Chains A and B, each alone.
Chain A
């Protein structure tokens, strides 16, 4: 093969290599800008990724739905249609295997368990990683514990998630009405 041919192939590859991260960015920017923001109640724990750094894993309170369908299988994609409660927190409206003809927002989740006759399907929401500056991930977990230990029922930890056309982007994690980083920085001072 001639150099010029290799070079042309190389250029194609360069475009793909640039396109993939760019597409990742554009998709998310679009959801962030045009999507509807929901609050998902959650609790964080802190693990580690060798390439992408520290993050907190978010375990969501909203992890199951009532359904009459008993054919859900583990690992299957489940569309979770959303509604907001009086305080703006996300709640399951309904679940479905296929897209419904409605304007209602939905997110794609994964079925984690189905007890068959209990009329309940359990699922995992996909946006379960929140990347943080390496010194802040562990304190984030501690701060969550601290605010929930006080027996203060008003203290709510939740993730702010933008949703559009089934795509979801995790924006930030909040305790009450402040980002979790606010508490970490305040405690450090």
Chain B
């Protein structure tokens, strides 16, 4: 146990702040917590080890040992697989600890890859990387639930994203849409939901939060085929889903470093709006976007819109105290602006700039009201970036630009200073 804590307890005890009983309870609590600690460390190292060994085997086999006979190579293809299956089976049958299950599951995951890789190599089986990853993921997916394994679940999401990128970001003539990515991810969701239910505050759960947000953000672009201007709308709706998810009771009061949905939803929307604040982007959208419902881009944007809207309604219904947060409605406003942009690029540009400014100001207000410097400066940053970006399109003299920069910098300093002062006064 941490000696600092022990010292503190004895100090509190000496000064009669806490009773002997409380002191024993605290000591016992931390002791029990500590007991599970080396276990967790073991798991991490077990999974890391299994990953390295598994990848190592794949690399060794990828060398292609062409002086070995076909029979020997075929046998070699099965050895790692069978060993991994035996170890995993043993840890299920003997009800071994989670360390066993996580490590053996990870190893089995890579052994499956090694096995089908070697077989494809021996028989020159055609098929690109996408189809190979597909087989691999399908064969490994049940491991998540059978071994109750977080590591395998993470690997499946990572490899499903890899698969989606491989298929969707291939700008050759065979640009396919990775619909099966959705199936894979949905198949992992029950496991994630269970984690949310049993241990919403665990570090591992927050890893999953980030994993899903990053995966969706990266992969969504793979679903854009030819109607790319609608991609802006798709991303705006996705960030709307994220932000509103982040406001759900289960995530809402978590620290920002755990709540990836709020962070990515908010940052993503702001970055997207900054891109859309340039008139040239809207000019392109005006010419090239097709809002026909049968295009997959419009379909996905609509699905994401409905999803975001439903989550918004749900959070509003659950809210005890009525509160208004502009960020939650940004996706709605962007959707309206987008449809204006189809008809009139200038109007859409102006509206986007106004929206960005209002968002920035509302963040400044939230920051000032709650005394959170991070939110305050985030708002200032948004406003500043609108001003800086407009320097590129609007033709004004250098001296005016220079003066504006000085003014913005001074604004940063002043707002922070004023708030610091107010906070000090309040503390007094």
Question: A-side interface residues toward B, CB under 8 Å?
Answer: 3, 6-7, 9-11, 13-14, 16-18, 20-21, 24-25, 28, 49-55, 74-75, 112, 126-134, 136, 169-171, 181
A17 and B112 contacting across the interface, CB-CB below 8 Å: yes
Q: Is the CB of B81 within 8 A of A127?
A: no
Give the contacting residue for A134; candidates B63, B93, B139, B174; CB below 8 A: B63
Q: Looking at the assembled complex, report how far the CB atom of A15 sits from the nearest CB atom of chain B, in whole angstroms.
A: 10
Q: Are A20 and B135 in contact (CB under 8 A)?
A: yes
A17-B120 in contact (CB<8A): no
How distant is the Cα of A24 from the Cα of B132 in the complex, in angstroms? 12
Contact partner of B61 (CB less than 8 A), chosen from A20, A53, A75, is: A53
Q: Mark B68-103, 1 if CB is under 8 A from A, else 0.
A: 000000100110011001001100110100000000
Any chain A CB within 8 A of the CB of B58? yes
Contact (Cβ within 8 A) A134 B135: no
Q: Is the CB of A20 within 8 A of B116?
A: yes
Q: With A and B bound together, what is the CA distance between A150 and B139 in angstroms?
A: 49
Is B349 an interface residue when CB atoms closer than 8 A count as contact? Answer: no
Decide if A14 touches B85 in the complex (CB within 8 Å).
yes
Is A10 a contact partner of B88 (Cβ separation < 8 A)? yes
Q: Which of A7, A55, A128, A133 contacts B63 (CB 8 A)?
A: A133
Measured CB to CB, the nearest residue on chain B to A20 is B139
Complex CA gap A167/B382 in Å reads 60
Q: State in angstroms the CA–CA spacing of A112 and B174 once bound together.
A: 9
Asked if B93 contacts A129 (CB within 8 A), the reply is no
- For A52, give its contact among B66, B88, B95, B132 (CB under 8 Å): B132
Contacting residue for B146 out of A13, A21, A52, A133, CB 8 A? A13
Binary interface encoding of chain B residues 5-22 relative to chain A, with 1 for a CB under 8 A from any of its CBs, else 0: 000000000000000000
| Contact status A52-B117, CB under 8 Å | yes
Minimum Cβ distance to chain A for residue B157 (Å): 18
Bound CA–CA A13/B139 (angstroms): 8
Residues B120 and A52 in contact, CB atoms below 8 Å apart: yes
Answer whether A51 and B117 are a contact pair too, CB < 8 Å, given A10-B88, A21-B78, A21-B81: yes
